[in-house]
């Protein structure tokens, strides 16, 4: 091979968008209904109830009509008001970036930071809340995707609940791939385009009764705007008008994605996400590479971040993986850029065989870029043994 | 028939969402690519260029990742700044509503209002600008959909250009169904989900060089927000990162919609929109009903608004049309609600036969709700004679 | 309009292939499974059982892997043997043509013929059997599509049963659109590509226990051939091998077509077929044209044949209907060619509105080809009144 | 793992049906046209010409409306007549089975047999023709799929041409995955459902001018039957009627499959088939298993047959591969059943990474069934090194 030329991917093993389940791709092609058609409105209500059940949400989740960055921006604007003191937990690039949207709405914002290859612990959180007893809202990025690390949500939620603040969680790239109890969570933002195996275009927001009350009492919460969460509160009820035209085709896709998730069984889905990530980590280590996470226990079941060896350029590496093996993976972002690559294990790619595929491509590309001895055979055997 | 029960629509003849072209529905099911995949980035650049050519835009149009209300809200926030004096032309519900998004960003906003069954004339506009020489931005709703009336864009644009203000046009439900020259238009907002026959989920914004300059100079133009237009300026260039994950499946649909538009030929497409609307209007009049538009020349080629006879309830009418004939049409909105119904002629429904279908269903439902003598035979003959 | 140029059809209102239900088109795109995959074999068994239930068949129907001409040819070869005396009932082109496949396998074949715009009556059949008491097999084309006439199946079946012969029925273009009891029928051949709204590619054969016994005893029944029915007897049982690779995508389509048929409810489906045909016939008569059927009671609920007025060329007529109105209909065949045109009412086109569409196009094209006064208004009013 | 339960396949790596290219699955959902619609007839003619060009056929290839067993049976019946002496070359189960269809039509049939893990050589063929100078037709199975062996087509064709007999080739599972020149071939039968990545439902028959002449002169060649090749000779010409309704959806799929084949470039397609098979063979050997082919040079680029070690049951093996790894492969057939398993490299699965996937699953399943030491690491390294 002399001229690496990029060819269409055979395997999109990224942290999202991932390719979708076949059922979802087909559902996108269903006839597009008028949003005032009662048949569509019945569908929307049934879809909302299906989503509520899948999430275990006390109230009806809201579907916002844009990929999860919309959900995150809208929730920041809707929940955080001039009386709020925010504690933003930062264990990675996305957690840090979220402060940009939280801060302008709040009376104050404090950050609890840890290294980007570590996680926020309950002890650190307890101490931060002790130092900032005025905190009314704690914000957490559950899976900080650019690091591939997963914060201990239930334990952190318990600490927040004890303190009394509201807990706002970005679980975009974790929900659906790992068990998430809404117990102790006030707002959870996620999307269909990661572990549910749907395309990017919608946000999902589940809020507790007290979070709804907080948003309604917030004088700066947007109304009559795409950034409004409140506008959508009753949109799910058949017969109620939508604030604006929802993304009909994407909702059809979400419907199919939820049906598949429920039919397969959430526990089964979570288990294969976990097993795929475990296979990937075992393979990476056996190959002779290092995980990005400071401790393996920090690594997410929905993505694996691999530290780049000295002198290996991430663009060169990813290009070779695509050119020579048809495998597309994700780079780092901001502070993690050019320090790691990431392999997603999400939805249709959360099967252990995809760890084998990723390891094979990773080894093949790496071998052209570094003299470091790397053992493909050992990697595959370790992955296959999980 | 005793118990009207709503059944799935056979014919969605609304003002949008309309059902999509078959090519578009199939394209939605294409594999979903990663947004950093160079193959996807090349596709996005090619798609943008295709769109630019179809629009005849001097600069590259921007695709925003939400249905056209996002485009409208984002453009209001991005273009209008504290130095701007806005003149909002109001000939209908949507034009009036747009003031809600324009006003907060501007130094001042004035309205030029006409009755909602009439259009803004060049003379009225000239006079308004004469009274408000400080005007820096004129906003116009091209086709005010809740009235089915089409403002004379080229003539109004000439008046604005003469004055020197920027012209911001909402052509969401007209572009693609009628000829639209960008000559004299500074910002045009449209979307794929009307006359291009795609699902609702994207906005298209074409801006003139001086509009781009105005946005960049605007201190309140959003950045790092879903409401930002500026963030997307260079997103079309392959290799440049996207501000956030674009709606991959919807872009695939837009690609197919544009291909179809170009293959059929824009002139042919516009001609069948015009002919379908003409057939509909001829049929409505021959049946013995009245158009909403004060003069037939005001009526849009992309939708026909029909005035409800005294005592006919619009919900009862639309329900019967769906229940007994499988035809779904649109109601009025706000001030036009319960005063008219609307039949869309957009994309795949812009064929004269759909006027026949709509007239048949309209007559059948009307006959159950009013004693007014209505002539179906004459209606069909008039429509078929166009 | 000067140069009629054929354009893609907007409305395919033929006697088949008809366009498919959207659910079916989507199902065709499901992943294609290996035929030895146990998951596929389970699917095939479940599909067969679903089909059996929908048909009300005592034994398991057989799905042959080619459009219904395969089923008809295979059944002729499989059922008819050197000991058989066949009585072929001929009320149209397809009934007559079937003799070509029946005769070579039989000891003798007799025909009972009626004019091609009439039907076979029980009396005529009784008399024919009286004259040919040696008859072992009676063959009947249920709906002779090139004439649009429907033979009285239950009454004829009773006469055959009384005599003791086997009854072989071609119900390709009737089953699924009209009620068909298998009571008294020994072999019924149909296909998914007419009233089930699926594409053409499969045959369905339901045989009674004594028909199975007859085929097994037939020394000339094909084996190890695409023409073999017997090879497929146990192919539906998961774990049994298929004689050869079945048409996986088409089976996925059939699965969706059956699901839709069952979900909508067969009675509802039959009722809308009947109502559409009644609307069409009422419109044709009110317009001033003649039905092909000698008596309206002979006309099929799944297609309407309209006699061409003197001097109207069928190709010119159908071309104009497609060119100017986007409507495609069927011509006659053989003896009925250039004497009639046919409008199908099958599956997704069996809604009364399609009669309106067909009548509008028919009138518009006819008006350019004949001076005969034809009344579109009356036609539509008559159709809409059904 | 205690209870192996079969789960849906993630990877269908069989010798066909293989899963289809995404483009093909989408094309199956295109609207279904009427076969007399001129737009469809133009499409069919264009499709035939595209196929002719892709095959390099002097005459127009015929598309028969059933999966390739139909093509094989129809060609046997159409080409072979009572004056013909057939020499059937048998290097495997499919070649042997074909004699069943050739023999009844011929004056005589002789077989040249080699072991089912070997190929027919030019020398053996020359000798057989020397012994049977009366031979008028030589029949060859190009890739005898149940053995995964590829006969040397160009060399054998040269010998046949020298002798003067007609050469009939079954290239169902080779054409499109390996270079096939029609030079010296009189009838080639193939199908879209192997290396073109389409579903099973169509046959393709390319015949030389002298083969057409031979069929026309054959008094026993079927006419007015699904087994007729002659009926379809001119069906490709727009305006000519089809013998019966073609499989519209499948033709749409074939159209997309051909477009993809041509766009990617046949040489590129063949190269990745060859490379995938080479990777698979290298991996099998490095793992410690044996190829079925007596010499590696006999192995087909479109499938790899692996000899089962003593005591390993093929059903147990394949079940474990599916249950535990989501990988479906093919068994042997007849004489090769339970002696080998087969991994297909066809169309969308002809990428070297699929060899890695197959090897991983094969090793994992084998390890549970035999004590024979098998080296996964070495297998993957060998495969990845190709």
Say if C352 falls within a structural domain: yes
CA distance A304 to D168: 54
Say if D202 falls within a structural domain: yes
Asked if A377's CB is within 8 angstroms of D381's CB, the reply is yes
CA distance A3 to A6: 10
Q: Considering only CB atoms, which chain B residues are within 8 Å of C327?
A: 353
Reduced to 3 states (helix: H, G, I; strand: E, B; else coil), residue C317 is: helix
Question: Is the model's pLDDT at C353 over the cut of 80?
Answer: yes
By CA distance, what is D380's nearest residue in A?
Answer: A377
Confidence of residue B177 (pLDDT cuts 50, 70, 90): very high
Statement to judge: residues C49 and C196 lie in one domain: yes
Please give the average per-residue pLDDT across D233-243, as a whole number.
97
Under-50 pLDDT residues of chain A? 1-4
Statement to judge: residues B223 and B288 lie in one domain: no
Reduced to 3 states (helix: H, G, I; strand: E, B; else coil), residue B259 is: helix
Residue from D139, D277, D270, D257 nearest D196 by CA: D257
CA distance C281 to C287: 10
Most C-contacting residue of A24, A25, A26, A39 (CB-CB within 10 A), to test interface: A26
Say if A44 falls within a structural domain: yes
CA distance D128 to B178: 74
Q: Which ranges of chain D would DSSP assign to H, the alpha helix?
A: 22-27, 38-55, 68-79, 93-102, 122-131, 153-163, 209-217, 248-264, 266-287, 314-325, 352-367, 376-384
Residue from D304, D302, D297 nearest D271 by CA: D302
- The minimum CA-CA distance between A16 and chain D, rounded to whole Å, is 20
Strands (E), chain A: 11-12, 62-64, 85-90, 108-113, 137-141, 143-144, 149-150, 166-170, 187-190, 203-207, 290-291, 303-307, 327-328, 330-331, 340-344
- Answer for the pair D141, D89: CB distance below 8 angstroms, yes or no: yes
Number of domains in chain A: 2
CATH number where C163 lies:
3.40.640.10
CATH number where B352 lies:
3.90.1150.10
Is the Cβ of A26 closer than 8 Å to some Cβ of chain B?
yes
Question: Is the model's pLDDT at D3 over the cut of 50?
Answer: no
Q: Considering only CB atoms, which chain C residues are within 8 Å of A27?
A: 26
Residues ≥6 apart with Cβ < 8 Å to B351: B272, B276, C10, C326
What's chain C's length in residues? 386
> Judged by CB atoms within 8 Å, which residues 312-341 of A form the interface with C?
none
Asked if A380's CB is within 8 angstroms of D376's CB, the reply is yes
Most B-contacting residue of C8, C269, C384 (CB-CB within 10 A), to test interface: C384
Two structure tokens written together for B285: 């009049």
Say if C4 falls within a structural domain: no
Is the Cβ of C190 closer than 8 Å to some Cβ of chain D?
no
Question: Is the model's pLDDT at C4 over the cut of 50?
Answer: no
Residues ≥6 apart with Cβ < 8 Å to A212: A59, A233
Two structure tokens written together for A103: 């801060």
Is the Cβ of D56 closer than 8 Å to some Cβ of chain B?
no
Phi-psi region of C56 (alpha: psi -120 to 50; beta: other; left: phi over 0): left
**Option in A26, A30, A66 nearest B226 (CB):** A66
pLDDT given for residue B9 in this prediction = 87
pLDDT given for residue A1 in this prediction = 29
Domain boundary among the residues C225, C242, C263 is at C263
- Answer for the pair C342, C306: CB distance below 8 angstroms, yes or no: yes
pLDDT tens digits, B121-153: 999 999 999 999 999 999 999 999 999 999 999
pLDDT given for residue C305 in this prediction = 98
Burial class (CB in 10 A: 0-12, 13-18, 19+), D386: middle
Q: Please name the residue that has the structure tokens 């006027």.
A: B355
Residues ≥6 apart with Cβ < 8 Å to D164: none
Instruction: State which residues form the domain around A293.
Output: 11-19+266-384
- Give the count of Cβ contacts less than 8 A between chain C and D: 166
pLDDT tens digits, C116-145: 999 999 999 999 999 999 999 999 999 999
- The minimum CA-CA distance between D376 and chain A, rounded to whole Å, is 6
Statement to judge: residues B212 and B173 lie in one domain: yes
Residue from A23, C51, A20, A27 nearest C43 by CA: C51
Q: In what order do the strands lie in the sheet with D203-207?
A: D62-64, D203-207, D187-190, D166-170, D137-141, D85-90, D108-113
pLDDT given for residue B4 in this prediction = 41
Statement to judge: residues B195 and B84 lie in one domain: yes
Question: Is the model's pLDDT at C2 over the cut of 50?
Answer: no
Is the Cβ of A10 closer than 8 Å to some Cβ of chain D?
yes
Domain boundary among the residues B241, B263, B285 is at B263
Confidence of residue D5 (pLDDT cuts 50, 70, 90): low
> Judged by CB atoms within 8 Å, which residues 120-159 of A form the interface with C?
none
Please give the average per-residue pLDDT across B105-124, as a whole number.
98
Residues ≥6 apart with Cβ < 8 Å to C99: C88, C90, C109, C111, C139
Statement to judge: residues A300 and A255 lie in one domain: no
Confidence of residue C9 (pLDDT cuts 50, 70, 90): confident
pLDDT given for residue C7 in this prediction = 76
Say if C6 falls within a structural domain: no
Say if C2 falls within a structural domain: no
* Partners of A143 in the β-ladder: A150
**Option in D10, D29, D351 nearest A10 (CB):** D351
pLDDT tens digits, B198-218: 999 999 999 999 999 999 999
Q: Tell me if C318 is assigned to a ligand binding site.
A: no
For helices C314-325 and C352-367, angle between their N-to-C axes, nearest 10 degrees: 110
> A361 phi and psi, to 5 degrees?
-70, -40
pLDDT tens digits, B254-310: 999 999 999 999 999 999 999 999 999 999 999 999 999 999 999 999 999 999 999
DSSP state of D190: E
Asked if A247's CB is within 8 angstroms of B6's CB, the reply is no
pLDDT given for residue C5 in this prediction = 53
Q: Considering only CB atoms, which chain B residues are within 8 Å of C21?
A: none
Averaged confidence pLDDT in chain A = 96
Statement to judge: residues D190 and D275 lie in one domain: no
Is the Cβ of A249 closer than 8 Å to some Cβ of chain C?
no
Statement to judge: residues B274 and B258 lie in one domain: no
Residue from D381, D383, D9, D64 nearest D203 by CA: D64
Statement to judge: residues B283 and B230 lie in one domain: no
**Count helices and strands in chain C by DSSP H and E runs:** 12, 15
Asked if A201's CB is within 8 angstroms of B328's CB, the reply is no
Residues ≥6 apart with Cβ < 8 Å to D84: D105, D106, D107, D136, D137
pLDDT given for residue C1 in this prediction = 30
Statement to judge: residues A277 and A259 lie in one domain: no
Averaged confidence pLDDT in chain B = 96
Residue from D287, B66, B134 nearest A381 by CA: D287
Statement to judge: residues D322 and D255 lie in one domain: no
CA distance D244 to D225: 10
Statement to judge: residues B228 and B245 lie in one domain: yes
- The minimum CA-CA distance between D76 and chain A, rounded to whole Å, is 39
CA distance B198 to B192: 5
CA distance B211 to A369: 47
- DSSP element (H, E) containing A311: none
Question: Is the model's pLDDT at D342 over the cut of 80?
Answer: yes
Q: Considering only CB atoms, which chain D residues are within 8 Å of C21?
A: none
Statement to judge: residues D257 and D280 lie in one domain: no
Say if A188 falls within a structural domain: yes
Domain boundary among the residues B235, B263, B291 is at B263
pLDDT given for residue A2 in this prediction = 36
Please give the average per-residue pLDDT across B71-76, as a whole number.
98
Is the Cβ of C26 closer than 8 Å to some Cβ of chain A?
yes
pLDDT given for residue C19 in this prediction = 86
**Option in C10, C326, C377 nearest B380 (CB):** C377
Report how far apart, in Å, the C-alpha atoms of A99 and of each of A312, B373, C89, C240, D26 are: 32, 66, 82, 62, 43
Two structure tokens written together for C176: 């699924």
Say if B336 falls within a structural domain: yes
- Answer for the pair C366, C358: CB distance below 8 angstroms, yes or no: no
Reduced to 3 states (helix: H, G, I; strand: E, B; else coil), residue D238 is: coil
- DSSP element (H, E) containing C110: strand C108-113
- The minimum CA-CA distance between A345 and chain D, rounded to whole Å, is 15
pLDDT given for residue B5 in this prediction = 53
């Amino acid at each position: 091979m002399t001229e690496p030329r990029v060819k269409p991917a055979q395997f999109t093993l990224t942290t999202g968008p991932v390719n979708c389940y076949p059922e979802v791709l087909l559902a996108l092609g269903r006839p597009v209904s008028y949003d005032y058609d009662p048949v569509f409105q019945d569908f929307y209500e049934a879809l909302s109830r299906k989503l509520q059940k899948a999430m275990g949400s006390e109230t009806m989740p809201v579907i916002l009509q844009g990929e999860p960055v919309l959900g995150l921006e809208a929730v920041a604007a809707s929940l955080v008001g001039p009386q709020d003191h925010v504690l933003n937990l930062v264990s990675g690039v996305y957690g840090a970036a979220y402060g940009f949207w939280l801060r302008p709405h709040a009376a104050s914002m404090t950050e609890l930071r840890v290294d980007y290859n570590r996680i926020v612990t309950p002890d650190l959180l307890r101490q931060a809340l002790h130092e900032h007893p005025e905190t009314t809202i704690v914000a957490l990025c559950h899976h900080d995707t650019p690091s591939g690390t997963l914060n201990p949500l239930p334990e952190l939620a318990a600490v927040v609940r004890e303190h009394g603040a509201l807990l706002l969680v970005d679980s975009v790239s974790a929900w659906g791939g790992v068990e998430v109890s809404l117990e102790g969570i006030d707002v959870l933002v996620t999307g269909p385009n990661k572990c549910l195996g749907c395309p990017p275009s919608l946000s999902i927001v589940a809020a507790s009764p007290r979070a709804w009350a907080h948003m309604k009492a917030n004088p700066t919460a947007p109304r009559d705007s795409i950034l409004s969460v409140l506008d959508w509160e009753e949109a799910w009820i058949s017969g109620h008008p939508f604030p604006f035209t929802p993304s009909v085709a994407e909702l059809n896709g979400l419907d199919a994605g939820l049906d598949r998730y429920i039919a397969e069984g959430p526990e089964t889905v979570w288990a294969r996400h976990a097993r795929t990530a475990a296979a990937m980590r075992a393979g990476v280590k056996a190959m002779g590479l290092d995980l990005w996470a400071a401790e393996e226990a920090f690594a997410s079941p929905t993505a694996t971040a691999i530290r780049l060896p000295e002198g290996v350029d991430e663009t060169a590496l990813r290009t070779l993986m695509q050119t020579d093996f048809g495998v597309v993976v994700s780079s780092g972002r901001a502070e993690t850029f050019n320090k790691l690559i990431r392999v997603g294990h999400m939805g249709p790619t959360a099967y252990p065989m995809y760890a084998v595929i990723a390891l094979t491509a990773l080894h093949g590309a790496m071998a052209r870029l570094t003299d470091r001895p790397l053992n493909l055979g050992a990697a595959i055997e370790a992955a296959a043994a999980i």
